């Protein structure tokens, strides 16, 4: 899931640059893409992880430097693995109460909700993460991807009901434009449009001239290939 979110990173800055948050200590990006703080392992920690591996338990995840929060996240992961999501969420929510300024429980809940396609809850939990760390890229990515999936589904439903009009159409067109620009497809669409116009012109030139006294038929309407929502008009 995290690798898919990293692919959507190019959308994050353009769409979520205005997100505000609570000042928090800077964190560094780990190889997996999750922001973590660097915590040195003591001999006790290494021994604990060794025991956990031998007993098939999930070792504590170093989301933060708060040992209590790390323990809660580890217990929640075990509950998720045991197909006990209610228990896992209860543990994480308790951690948000005992450590209200720590983002880790909120981030873990956001990831879990995203994994089961509960995109609304994933967005809500990710916003709580950004209140505590405005630079968290995982939370921003979850918001972007979740929002796009919800919008895509809703637009598809509205299209089948012919309900895309007015301000909704304008907003959808603006979003499509932003996505094309960020994906680097503007030139591709423009080139496709030019080819369509050239083809139409050649077809007109190759048509025989109308007989004297006959009114030429009206030219076909201009191509609207540059507008992805043109078919909805």
Mean pLDDT on 71-90: 96
Token couple for 98: 């005992």
> What is the reported pLDDT for 31?
35
More confident: 206 or 139? 139
Q: Residue 98: pLDDT band by 50, 70, 90 thresholds? A: very high
Is 202's pLDDT higher than 80? Answer: no
Q: Residue 3: pLDDT band by 50, 70, 90 thresholds? A: very low
Each domain of the chain, given as residue ranges in start order, spans 28-158
The pLDDT tens digits for 205-233 are 555 555 555 455 444 444 444 444 444 34
By residue count, the chain amounts to 233
Tally the C-alpha atoms within 13 A of residue 100's C-alpha that lie toward its C-beta.
1
Integer CA distances (angstroms), 90 to 93, 100, 104, 118, 167, in order: 5, 15, 14, 17, 41
Q: d(Cα 219, Cα 200) in Å, to the nearest integer?
A: 10
Mean pLDDT on 95-102: 95
- Looking at domain 28-158, its CATH class is mainly alpha
- Asked if 158 contacts 168 with a C-beta cutoff of 8 angstroms, the reply is yes
pTM of the shown model: 0.52
Mean pLDDT on 92-111: 96
- Most confidently modeled range among 10-14, 133-137, 165-169, 212-216: 133-137
> What is the reported pLDDT for 46?
52
- Asked if 148 contacts 122 with a C-beta cutoff of 8 angstroms, the reply is no
């Amino acid at each position: 899931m995290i690798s898919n979110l990293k692919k959507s990173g190019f959308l994050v800055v353009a769409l979520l640059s205005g997100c505000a948050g609570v000042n928090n200590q800077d964190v560094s990006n780990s190889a997996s893409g999750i922001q973590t703080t660097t915590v040195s392992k003591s001999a006790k920690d290494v021994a604990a992880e060794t025991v956990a591996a031998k007993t098939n338990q999930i070792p504590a995840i170093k989301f933060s430097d708060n040992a209590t929060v790390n323990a809660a996240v580890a217990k929640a992961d075990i509950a998720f693995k045991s197909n006990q999501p209610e228990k896992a969420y209860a543990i994480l929510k308790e951690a948000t109460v005992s450590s209200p300024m720590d983002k880790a429980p909120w981030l873990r809940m956001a990831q879990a909700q995203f994994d089961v396609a509960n995109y609304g809850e994933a967005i809500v939990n990710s916003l709580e993460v950004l209140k505590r760390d405005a630079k968290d890229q995982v939370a921003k990515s979850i918001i972007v991807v979740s929002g796009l999936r919800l919008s895509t589904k809703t637009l598809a439903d509205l299209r089948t009901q012919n309900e895309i009009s007015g301000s909704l159409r304008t907003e959808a067109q603006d979003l499509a434009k932003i996505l094309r620009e960020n994906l680097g497809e503007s030139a591709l669409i423009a080139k496709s449009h030019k080819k369509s116009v050239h083809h139409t012109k050649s077809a007109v030139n190759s048509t025989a001239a109308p007989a004297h006294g006959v009114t030429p038929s009206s030219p076909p309407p201009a191509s609207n290939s540059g507008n992805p929502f043109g078919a909805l008009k």
